[in-house]
Amino acid sequence: MNRAIFLDRDGVLIEDVHLLTNPKDIRILAGVPAALGRLSAAGFGIIVVSNQTVVARGLSTKQEVLDLNAEVHVQIERAGGPCLGAFYFCPHHPNATLPLYRVDCECRKPRPGLLLRAAREHDLDLHASFAVGDRVTDIIAGARAGCRTVLVQTGEHLAPPIETSEPLDDSVEPDYTCADLFQAAQWILEQA
């Protein structure tokens, strides 16, 4: 089995502009291409797992989110980063504007569905993998999946928790907290 780094998109790889819908607003965070390069060179798969409520709110279609993800990938590679292994996203929200997406799903973080699906599809060892996010919901999802977790302080780490269909488990703490993905990569490589 393989190991991977599961990364939230907004606030970890790119600036969190709140409800990203326009590719012109994508800005790769400093140090991200180099950090991803180091992790990839160490044999980690790079998997992006992200809640995308823009779909549930009717602001973007699933295809438009796929297009945004493709642009993130292109910009990271242009900046010297590695090929990203895969993007997974949850389009649901417990109070979605569009009834089709008002679903109590297993893929919306803090639930671990996106990570579990990626693990099945890519033959990943979750216990040898890490989840990196900028919100407590990213950390809870990673912990529930069996990964070690890193909270980065480049996004919404101080914002109120996102809306979930269940109470958040306040007992879950990240295994490591740091300033950004570059520091996260350094710690992960020391652990691995």
Per-residue DSSP letters for 136-161? Answer: HHHHHHHHHHT-EEEEESSSSTTSPP
Residue 169 catalytic?
no
Residue 125 catalytic?
no
| Exposed/middle/buried for residue 31 (C-beta within 10 Å: 0-12, 13-18, 19+) | middle
SS3 content of the chain, % helix, strand, coil (to 5): 35, 15, 45
Joined together, the tokens standing for residue 84 give 């990203």
User: What's the rounded Cα separation, in Å, for the pair 192 and 172?
Assistant: 22
User: What's the rounded Cα separation, in Å, for the pair 142 and 25?
Assistant: 27
Which residue numbers are catalytic? 8, 10
